């Protein structure tokens, strides 16, 4: 399971980086999305992979931590998803504004000079 | 005295509430919106003054006030804390925010919608970043600050701003991803995100975990170094500074210093001598990165013709000097660097506010905003000159304030910039301090002098072209535009006069930073408030 997840994160990340370096703003935003998926998965697995373990603890009794998943990365990843989603949406608005004002979807707001 | 602890939270909660309340008002009520914004900012300023005083007079044990959010004990809940450094930065933020806000009154705040709300959210994010004692919480406050700054950079929506804004947003989103990866790695290695708890665990980590942690910290540092514009991560800065409107640029000047603040705080806390094998990790990166940034800033400053870019490269120089000085990790040098931070931030903020006024000499004032006004049709936008009183002797005012800014930024006597640089030199050349003696100290010294020379050449060239040109027409200045600049520069003059007491204070700040154990003990041992059942009934 570790290998599969590591590969998935690696592929998402490399695709994201490649798209980030493209000149069109739409490619950049897809790149940002892929990167944020990769980062979110990465945070999630930092709580160690486990199967069939609930993240919550019952109160009132002394518990064995090895029976439970670490709840903190799960809480962190929720926050990170929300923030990443909001800021990417904001970038989408700016992207559309730029397309409307400059008439091009190049990230510099103007086409590269044709030689 | 327990309620006093809640005041630590006020600089975060008040801007949040007033920012949210300001969304509800229509843009037509801009006087009311300005008033609410101003009152809120002013209360934050008063709180910052009080915290500044209270942390220094040992109102709290060791001068560190700890606020446990929702009354959870330290490593489990989120901690906010105010110590001398945090209080100092809060005060600087509040002063700059008040100045930028008053400056924006006469025209800039009416250029687009929701300026006042975004301004308050920005203030909330910045204050939160200074006060938090938890890494993930720091990320959240950074994002609040950045989201507000995206909106503010785009404020008064035109082609230049949208181009610069797009790049600014992408660069910062990328650095946020680095931030998150760093945090995740740190958590994986140490099992905690509380800064104090983390610092106390570093010495006991196994070698494998230590490597993971150091990787995490290095990735995290990329995020902060991007904010503080270290070469080669700072190319976004001059473009953004040029494009954003002046009050926003003044706040951006402060935001580069937040990166420096976090590095000061985290690096000195985590990698002090108590950190075992990790002590001093990455110090050389800061030192050499800072030097390269200085060189890059000086070259950029000489090459730039436009006033906005000059301000941007001056900010790069100031960041470079600070990073290099912090990289030594010496208390004496850090107090000198903090003096430089205060002086250069105030002068740069005054300069970015000033250059917009100076540009009115060069271009006819009325046509200036025609482009930006189109996007949002605001009723009052058609008569932006109506508010405030025009001040006399505009040319003399502009000339004098420009000269003062130039002197401070270049570090020439008699103003505070000179004292700041002089105290950095004096510390570097101190015979008694063996750790500072290396060939690199000389390189740093020469770089600082050369960058000062570059600054004075570039600024003089700009000044001569502007003020001595025959076509110069005295522009119309409003008192709300002139007053903030005067106040910021007056503060620099005060810093010059009160350099002695201020240095004493900054030495206490630096001494605090070099005793991380105090900080750790205060956070970890902070007792939760137990409320006896009887108190409710009284």
Alpha-carbon distance of B356 to B106, in angstroms, equals 13
Q: Hey, of A46, A65, A75, which one would you mutate to test binding to chain B, going by the most B CBs within 10 A of its CB?
A: A46
Residue B472 is predicted with a pLDDT of 65
Instruction: Give the closest residue to B171 by CA, choosing from B267, B236, B241.
Output: B236
Instruction: Report the range of poorest mean pLDDT among B138-142, B163-167, B287-291, B393-397.
Output: B393-397
Residue B120 is predicted with a pLDDT of 94
Q: Hey, of B132, B154, B162, which one would you mutate to test binding to chain A, going by the most A CBs within 10 A of its CB?
A: B162
Residue B145 is predicted with a pLDDT of 93
Alpha-carbon distance of B392 to B374, in angstroms, equals 31
Span B409-439, pLDDT tens digits: 888 888 888 899 888 888 888 767 666 667 7
Burial code (b: 16+ CB inside 10 Å, e: under 16) for A43-78 equals bbbbbeeeeeeeeeeeeeeeeeeeeebbebbeebbe
More confident residue, B226 or B328: B226
Residue B372 has pLDDT above 90, yes or no: no
Span B98-133, pLDDT tens digits: 999 999 888 888 887 888 999 999 999 999 999 998
Specify the residue for token string 């909660």: B13
Alpha-carbon distance of A17 to A19, in angstroms, equals 5
DSSP track, B275-296: GGGGTTTTHHHHHHHHHHHHHH
Residue B324 has pLDDT above 50, yes or no: yes
DSSP B67: E
In chain B, what residues touch A88 (CB-CB under 8 Å)?
A: 173
pLDDT, chain B, mean:
84
Residue B199, classed as helix, strand or coil, is helix
What is the mean pLDDT, run by run of 10 residues, along chain A of 115 residues?
91 94 91 93 86 72 76 88 90 89 81 63
Q: Find the closest chain A residue to B165 by CA distance.
A: A94
B139 band by pLDDT with thresholds 50, 70 and 90: very high
Alpha-carbon distance of B322 to B304, in angstroms, equals 22
Instruction: Give the closest residue to B146 by CA, choosing from B184, B173, B178, B185.
Output: B173
Residue B229 has pLDDT above 80, yes or no: yes
Which pair of structure tokens corresponds to residue B103? 């400056």
User: What angle in degrees, to the nearest 10, is found between the helix axes of B195-202 and B246-270?
Assistant: 30
Mean pLDDT of B289-318: 90
B367 band by pLDDT with thresholds 50, 70 and 90: very low
Determine how many CB atoms are found less than 10 A away from the CB of residue B24.
Answer: 8
Cis amide prior to B196 (ω within 30 degrees): no
Decide if B163 and A109 are in contact by the 8 Å CB cutoff. Answer: yes
Specify the residue for token string 């790149």: A31
Alpha-carbon distance of B522 to B526, in angstroms, equals 6
Residue B434 is predicted with a pLDDT of 67
In chain A, what residues touch B164 (CB-CB under 8 Å)?
A: none
Q: Hey, of B142, B167, B169, which one would you mutate to test binding to chain A, going by the most A CBs within 10 A of its CB?
A: B169
- Please classify residue B217 by burial: count the beta carbons closer than 10 Å to its beta carbon, then call 0-12 exposed, 13-18 middle and 19+ buried: buried
Give how far the C-alpha of residue B75 lies from the chain's centroid of Cα atoms, to the nearest Å.
Answer: 28
Say which of B136, B154, B159 has its CB closest to residue A94.
B154
Say which of A73, A102, A109 has its CB closest to residue B187.
A73
DSSP track, B227-243: HTT-TTS-THHHHHHHH
Which pair of structure tokens corresponds to residue B367? 């046509």
Percent of chain B with pLDDT over 70: 90
Mean pLDDT of B374-386: 43
Residue B362 has pLDDT above 70, yes or no: no
pTM of the model: 0.89
Alpha-carbon distance of B229 to A19, in angstroms, equals 24
Residue B329 has pLDDT above 60, yes or no: yes
Cis amide prior to B414 (ω within 30 degrees): yes
Q: Find the closest chain B residue to A48 by CA distance.
A: B188
Q: A115: distance to nearest CA of chain B, Å?
A: 23
Mean pLDDT of B73-80: 83
Alpha-carbon distance of B179 to B160, in angstroms, equals 28
Specify the residue for token string 């910062």: B172
Residue B94 is predicted with a pLDDT of 94
Decide if B136 and A35 are in contact by the 8 Å CB cutoff. Answer: no
Radius of gyration of chain B (CA): 23
Instruction: Report the range of poorest mean pLDDT among B51-65, B451-465, B487-501.
Output: B51-65
- Please classify residue A89 by burial: count the beta carbons closer than 10 Å to its beta carbon, then call 0-12 exposed, 13-18 middle and 19+ buried: exposed
Residue B391 is predicted with a pLDDT of 63
Residue B107 is predicted with a pLDDT of 81
Decide if A42 and B147 are in contact by the 8 Å CB cutoff. Answer: no
B371 band by pLDDT with thresholds 50, 70 and 90: very low
Residue B92 is predicted with a pLDDT of 94
Instruction: Give the closest residue to B92 by CA, choosing from B251, B246, B313.
Output: B251
Residue A114 is predicted with a pLDDT of 54
Strands (E), B21-153: 65-68, 79-82
Instruction: Report the range of poorest mean pLDDT among B113-122, B157-166, B272-281.
Output: B272-281
Instruction: Report the range of poorest mean pLDDT among A92-101, B114-123, B223-232, B366-375.
Output: B366-375
Span B239-261, pLDDT tens digits: 888 888 889 999 999 988 999 99
Residue B471 is predicted with a pLDDT of 65
Instruction: Give the closest residue to B352 by CA, choosing from B229, B222, B489.
Output: B489
Residue B370 is predicted with a pLDDT of 42
Write down the ipTM of this complex. Answer: 0.92
Q: Are A101 and B159 in contact (CB under 8 A)?
A: yes
Q: B28: distance to nearest CA of chain A, Å?
A: 24
Residue B470 has pLDDT above 80, yes or no: no
DSSP track, B116-142: HHHHHHHHHHHHHHHHB-BHHHHHHHH
Decide if B162 and A101 are in contact by the 8 Å CB cutoff. Answer: yes
Mean pLDDT of B333-353: 91
Residue B432, classed as helix, strand or coil, is coil
Instruction: Give the closest residue to B251 by CA, choosing from B62, B94, B377.
Output: B94
Burial code (b: 16+ CB inside 10 Å, e: under 16) for B134-172 equals bbbbbbbbbbbbbbbbbbbbbbbbbbebbbbbbbbbbbb
Say which of A42, A90, A98 has its CB closest to residue B162.
A98
Give how far the C-alpha of residue A25 lies from the chain's centroid of Cα atoms, to the nearest Å.
Answer: 18
């Amino acid at each position: 399971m570790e290998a599969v997840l590591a590969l998935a994160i690696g592929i998402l990340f490399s695709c994201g980086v490649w798209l980030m370096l493209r000149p069109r703003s739409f490619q950049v935003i897809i790149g940002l999305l892929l990167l944020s998926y990769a980062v979110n998965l990465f945070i999630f697995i930092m709580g160690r992979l486990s199967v069939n373990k609930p993240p919550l603890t019952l109160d009132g009794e002394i518990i064995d931590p090895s029976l439970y998943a670490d709840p903190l990365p799960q809480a962190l990843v929720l926050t990170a998803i929300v923030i990443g989603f909001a800021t990417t949406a904001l970038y989408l608005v700016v992207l559309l504004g730029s397309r409307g004002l400059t008439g091009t979807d190049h990230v510099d707001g103007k086409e590269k000079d044709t030689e | 005295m327990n309620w006093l602890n809640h005041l630590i939270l006020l600089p975060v909660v008040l801007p949040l509430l007033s920012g949210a309340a300001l969304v509800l008002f229509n843009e037509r009520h801009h006087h009311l919106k300005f008033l609410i914004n101003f009152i809120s900012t002013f209360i934050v300023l008063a709180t910052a003054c009080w915290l500044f005083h209270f942390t220094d007079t040992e109102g709290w044990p060791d001068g560190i006030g700890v606020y446990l959010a929702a009354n959870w004990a330290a490593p489990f809940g989120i901690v906010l804390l105010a110590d001398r450094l945090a209080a100092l930065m809060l005060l600087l933020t509040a002063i700059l925010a008040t100045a930028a806000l008053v400056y924006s009154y006469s025209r800039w705040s009416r250029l687009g919608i929701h300026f006042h709300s975004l301004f308050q959210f920005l203030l909330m994010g910045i204050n939160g970043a200074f006060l938090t004692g938890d890494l993930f919480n720091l990320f959240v406050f950074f994002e609040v600050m950045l989201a507000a700054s995206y909106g503010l950079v785009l404020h008064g929506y035109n082609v230049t701003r949208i181009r610069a804004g797009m790049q600014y947003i992408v660069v910062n989103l990328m650095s946020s991803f680095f931030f998150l990866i760093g945090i995740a790695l740190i958590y994986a290695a140490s099992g905690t995100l509380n800064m104090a708890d983390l610092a106390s665990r570093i010495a006991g980590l196994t070698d494998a975990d230590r490597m993971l942690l150091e990787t995490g910290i290095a990735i995290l540092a990329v995020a902060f170094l991007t904010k503080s514009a270290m070469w080669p991560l700072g190319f976004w800065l001059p473009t953004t500074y040029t494009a954003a409107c002046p009050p926003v640029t003044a706040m951006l000047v402060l935001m580069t210093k937040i990166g420096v603040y976090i590095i000061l705080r985290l690096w000195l806390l985590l990698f002090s001598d108590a950190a075992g094998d990790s002590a001093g990790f990455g110090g050389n990166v800061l030192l050499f990165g800072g030097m390269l940034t200085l060189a890059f800033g000086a070259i950029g400053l000489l090459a730039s013709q436009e006033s906005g870019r000059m301000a941007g490269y001056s900010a790069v120089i100031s960041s470079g000097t600070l990073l290099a000085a912090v990289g030594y990790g010496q208390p004496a040098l850090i107090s000198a660097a903090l003096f430089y931070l205060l002086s250069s931030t105030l002068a740069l903020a005054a300069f970015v506010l000033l250059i917009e006024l100076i540009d009115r000499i060069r271009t006819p004032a009325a046509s200036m905003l025609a482009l930006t006004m189109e996007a949002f049709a605001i009723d009052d936008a058609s008569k932006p000159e109506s508010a405030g009183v025009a001040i006399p002797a505009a040319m003399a005012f502009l000339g004098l304030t420009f000269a003062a800014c130039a002197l401070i930024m270049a570090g020439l006597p008699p103003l505070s910039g000179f004292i700041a640089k002089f105290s950095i030199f004096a510390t570097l050349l101190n015979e008694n301090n063996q750790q500072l003696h290396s060939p690199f100290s000389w390189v740093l010294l020469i770089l600082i002098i050369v960058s000062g020379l570059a600054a004075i050449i570039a600024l003089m060239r700009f000044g001569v072209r502007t003020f001595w040109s025959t076509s110069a027409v005295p522009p119309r200045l409003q008192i709300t535009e002139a007053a903030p600049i005067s106040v910021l520069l007056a503060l620099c003059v005060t810093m010059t006069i009160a350099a002695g007491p201020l240095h004493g204070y900054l030495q206490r700040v630096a001494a605090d930073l070099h005793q991380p154990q105090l900080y750790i003990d205060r956070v970890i041992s902070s007792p939760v408030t137990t409320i006896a059942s009887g108190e409710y009934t009284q």
